[in-house]
Structure 1
Amino acid sequence: MGKPTGFLEIERQVSTEIEPLKRIKNFNEFHKPLSRDEQSCQGARCMDCGVPFCQNGKVIQGMVSGCPLNNLIPEWNDLIFHKNYKAALKRLLKTNNFPEFTSRVCPALCEAACTCGLNGNSVTVRENENAIIETAYASNWMQPQPPKHRIDKKIAVIGSGPSGLAAADQLNKRGYQVTVFEREDRIGGLLMYGIPNMKLEKHIIDRRVHLMEEEGVVFKTKAGIETKKQVQELYKEFDRVVLACGSKKARDIQVPGRDAKGIYFAVDYLTRITKSLLNSQLEDKDFVETKDKNVLVIGGGDTGNDCVGSAIRLGCKSVIQLEMMPEPPHERLDSNPWPEWPRVKKTDYGQNEAIAVFGNDPRLYQTTVKEFIKDDKGNIKQAIIVSLESKQVEGRRQMVPVKGSEKTLDVDVVLIAAGFIGCEDHVAKAFDVKLTPRGNVADENYQTNQNQLYVAGDMRRGQSLVVWAIREGREVARAVDEDLMGYSNL
């Protein structure tokens, strides 16, 4: 702690944003970071709190409090205050393989648990992290560091999302010969196609992938492993296999009219936009067109918000977002004390853009779809929505429809952002793995029911955060290393 009174004297300052009406004209990153001097000053706000809950990463009342990666946050906050960014980088990379990703897309569990935020504003942990890693790239400190000695063992990683990349990075550093298989045309998985460009520009991913390639990791695109024959060939060539294919099975809504044309899963909608953007700057029009259309987004959360922001950038006529649960409070309730994750209302970038463009928050709380109405060509033209209320049903509380509350909306495009319910069936069958009741791959210390096969990330734990995926990738790498070597120094 470089400045004992910093948290008393210095106000929290964050990066500025390009105003909504300007930034919606493109899919570019819209944050303008602080100068290095200003960011170093923010590091001085880290206080000598005794117990750094920011790096705790433990579950409290069903929600994680603090960083799941156990980042050494107070240490590198102090180092950037002293402008010793090189030392800060070493401390940061000890726990986080990809801070350039987490500092952009993580909801900052660390900041929610910051002691400074108990009576005031938390330390700008996420932006401090971003300043460290971006200073490192700008200063050419991020140079390839291939292992000095190679182990005569080959590891295959299936899937190149954050968990697969973290596992590959760790195992490669240990000296294994690592090959990553990705069925899409670009490396990155969820990072590449599940997160829009304005949240994570794709050259950020490519930059890291190129570095990993120079360190010895082999990447293969358009190389899905989805049949039993492919799996058997994989087992013959590699000593161990790590499954990191994500939780890709989207949760559907079963209501009358669901078969109407114009209804899409959110992840497919976002993927097609990003592909078109990268391939042709949207000129090929190979995406779901929402220009001058009424868009209905079903589901809250980050993915729902990303759909709102994307639809607005493509020029939609209107956008409405349905959320089944009640509107959260604006401030913590007494029943939700610090350092628990704050269950408060969050208005994200997409919703702020909707407010700027249309004059109102797009979210309708405690509401769901009762029926879709098709025109004579089978296209979606309307949605009947219904309000919900919380009631005790058969011994447990559920959200149930309110009689007589139905309303009809004119709709041209529907995007279902209701989350995911497990790994894809054909992948599970190809690898012959056991599943949990929730549709995830069952494991014991990351090892599946197949001796050579390990699993990590959303495929193991279910839909989660990028920071958790990186944690999973690190943990599975350690488990594989212990299996092959009898011990691990990862």
Structure 2
Amino acid sequence: MGKPTGFKEYPRQTVPYADPFERLKSYQEFLAPVPEEHLKTQGARCMDCGVPFCQSETGCPVDNLIPEWNDLVYQGRWREALERLHKTNNFPEFTGRVCPAPCEGACVLGITDLPVTIKNIECAIIDRGFAEGWVTPKQPSHRTGKKIAVIGSGPAGLAAADQLNRTGHNVTVFERHDRVGGLLMYGIPNMKLDKSIVMRRVNLLQAEGVKFITRTHIVGDDDTPVDSRPENDAVTYLSIHILRKDFDAILLACGATRPRDLPIPGRQLDGIHYAMPFLHHNTQMLLDDGQVTTPLISARNRDVIVIGGGDTGNDCIGTAVRHGCKSLINFELLERPPLQRTAGNPWPQWPRIFRTDYGHQEAATRFGHDPREFAILAKAFIDDGHGHVAAIRTLRIDWSKPSDKAPFTEIADSETIYPAQLVLLAMGFLGPEQSIASSLGLETDNRSNFKADYGHFATSIPGIFAAGDCRRGQSLVVWAIAEGRGAARAIDHYLSTQNLAAQDRAMTCF
């Protein structure tokens, strides 16, 4: 694939971000335009490796045909590359922007050199497809008459809706927020994924026949629709039991939305927030031109501490710096990762190495140093005397010396107090909300996720399926897409089986 000697001749060159000084001035996407020749050269680095681990489950959860479209880009056959890309990935414009690219971690070239820039090429293919007008609505050739409800409009729900609609089923997607997209809309900042990109795909799905109902929260408490919110909220509560009567199958794709807390002294103080409300309100403000129904959590002129070192923490950093925070520190419980793979982290595993993402780079540009503090443990939030957080008391920890109570030891005389008038908790999620599961008697696993075997996606209640983070736990957008596609196959098989059973019953009447 690609040029046979390309991996020897061309070094890896990623698509550069815009200059951090410039991108901090706005919430616009930070990827710089890239010449076609650059992409063809990078596609030429794809090796004829025999066994492309990049497209296996070790690499890409949706099994993207990566070597094939790399080669087509190298040859300048962009429309064919788009066709190959869409065979496995419903939304490459999302994964090409926000996926951490496990495919690159599994690239065979990565054994001895830097891997192929797969993510950049994927994004360029789909962006060109839209720019050239190659991506157009395609209505299914027939309708089955079957009705499917999808609860949640994140990547898993959208992927399932897309697949089921193509099969000819009538799909209705329920979203409790005011806009479709779930995590894609309100969990990922605009500079990382412009919301016009999300709406472009949503509008396409709508034109193909998928129905979207927003501001509707599916719950399990009652048998009748309830609107218990104040009038200005305009969110309708609708019982899952009503949906069971009206639809032939239901897919739960409602995400893992229960955030992990930090129950240390002072947690009740004002100014301590979960990451998602902070990110949600910021995006809503941008989309509504400053008009929001709830107050914006502002970092302006505040000392900000972000607790949690994952993607969500990084997004909080980039957003807080754009707000104009006074200072910013990012706490990470784990040790600083190594610069290179260790013996315990061999290829083709995802390389657990030290990385600097866009938010870290922007904070370093603004304040002159990397914002991260590793191997640090928050012990207490300190009151300013008026019920608002003023600082955090911390200790350093040593992971090389486990204790009886934890896999680390607290280091004596290492106490440090960091000023903080805003604390953002970005420590991950514990699973889905439990209202629906409790009302239905739905079986859950030992992590409170909706129990449904991978590949079958059927819950303990006939006709109800689960996919995405609510089934597997907090994960990647690309895994959500893979789960949505798999759940769609399972639902289609279930409905087909139901049809055959109905036909068999009808035959017994003669």
Interval containing the TM-score (normalised by the shorter chain): over 0.9
With 212-221 and 430-439 compared, the bigger mean Cα shift is at 430-439
2:165 and 2:407 map into 1 onto residues whose CA distance is 47
Aligned to 1:26: 26
Out of 435, 441, 448, which is 2:444 matched to?
435
| Structure-2 separation of matches of 1:2 and 1:264 | 48
Q: Tell me the alpha carbon deviations over residues 90-110 of structure 1, each in whole angstroms, 9 at most, x when there is no partner.
A: 111111000000000000111
Cα separation, 1, equivalents of 2:172 and 2:241: 16
Q: Which amino acid aligns with 1:10?
A: Y
Matches within 5 A, 1:81-92: 81-92=74-85
Q: 2:268 aligns with which of 255, 259, 262?
A: 259
- Structural RMSD (CA): 1.7
**1:429 shift after superposition:** 2.2
Q: What is the distance in 2 between the residues matched to 1:283 and 1:193?
A: 13
Secondary structure at 2:128 match in 1: helix
SS of residue in 2 equivalent to 1:92: helix
**Which residue of structure 1 aligns with residue 367 of structure 2?**
358
Secondary structure class of the residue paired with 1:280: coil
Q: Which residue of 1 aligns with 2:136?
A: 143
| Deviation, structure 1 residue 398 | 1.0
Structure 1 contact 158–242 (Cα < 8 Å) conserved: yes
Secondary structure, aligned partner of 1:31: coil
Is 1:191 the counterpart of 2:202 in the alignment?
no
How do 1:132-281 and structure 2 match up within 5 A?
132-228=125-221, 229=223, 230-281=239-290
> What are structure 1's unaligned runs of at least 5 residues?
59-65
SS across alignment from 1:126? helix
1-structure distance, mates of 2:10, 2:295: 49
Point out the more displaced range, 12-21 or 322-331. Answer: 12-21
Q: Return closer, same or farther for 1:316/1:92 CA change in 2, 3 Å cut-off.
A: same
Check conservation: 2:153, 2:175, Cα contact below 8 A: yes
Please report how far the alpha carbon of residue 123 of structure 1 lies from its aligned counterpart in structure 2 after TM superposition. Answer: 0.9
Q: Give CA-to-partner distance per residue, 1:224-248, whole Å, 9 cap, x none.
A: 1113421111011100000000000
Structure-2 residue corresponding to 1:3 = 3
Using the size of structure 2 for normalisation, the TM-score is: 0.91
Matched position secondary structure for 1:146:
coil
Report the CA distance between 1:397 and its aligned residue.
6.2
Q: Pick from 451, 466, 481 the counterpart of residue 455 of structure 1.
A: 466
Measured against aligned partners, the alpha-carbon deviations of 1:55-83 in whole angstroms (never above 9, x if no partner) come to: 1113xxxxxxx111110000011111111
Deviation of 1:280 (Å)? 1.1
Matches within 5 A, 1:50-449: 50-58=50-58, 66-228=59-221, 229=223, 230-281=239-290, 286-390=295-399, 391-394=401-404, 398-444=407-453, 445-449=456-460
Shift of 1:212: 0.3
Deviation at 1:401, TM superposition (A): 2.4
The answer to whether the 8 A contact 2:17-2:31 is kept is yes
CA distance in 2, matches of 1:309, 1:49: 38
Given that residues 433 and 441 in structure 1 are in contact (C-alpha distance below 8 angstroms), is that contact kept between their aligned partners in structure 2?
Answer: yes
CA contact (8 A) 1:273 1:282 kept: no
Letter in 2 for 1:417: A
- Structure 1 residue 281: deviation in Å? 4.7
Deviations 1:203-226 (A, max 9, x none): 000000000001000001001111
In structure 1, how many angstroms separate the alpha carbons of the residues matched to 2:164 and 2:248?
13
Question: Per-residue CA shift, 1:247-285, capped at 9, x if unaligned?
Answer: 000000010000000000001111110011111157999
TM superposition shift of 1:451: 0.7
Aligned mates of 2:218, 2:318 — CA distance in 1? 33
Q: Is the Cα contact below 8 Å between 1:276 and 1:285 reproduced in 2?
A: no
The residue identity in structure 2 corresponding to 1:257 is G
- The answer to whether the 8 Å contact 2:318/2:362 transfers is yes
Percent sequence identity over aligned pairs: 49
Residue 269 of structure 1 aligns with an amino acid whose one-letter code is F
Match of 2:487 in 1: 476
Question: Given the superposition, is the C-alpha separation of residues 40 and 281 from structure 1 closer, same or farther in structure 2, using an over 3 Å criterion?
Answer: farther
1:30-54 Cα offsets, whole Å, 9 max, x none, are 1113122321222111111111011
Conservation of the 8 A alpha-carbon contact between 2:402 and 2:409: no
Partner of 1:62: none
Distance in 1, Cα, partners of 2:185 & 2:2: 38
2:2–2:48: 8 Å Cα contact kept in structure 1? no
Tell me how far 1:334 sits from its aligned partner. Answer: 2.7
Q: Give the CA deviation at 1:487.
A: 10
1:14, 1:33 within 8 Å by CA — same for their partners in 2?
Answer: no
| Contact preservation (8 Å) 2:240, 2:436 | no
Matched AA of 1:308: I
TM-score, with normalisation over the residues of structure 1? Answer: 0.95
3-state SS, counterpart of residue 341 of structure 2: coil
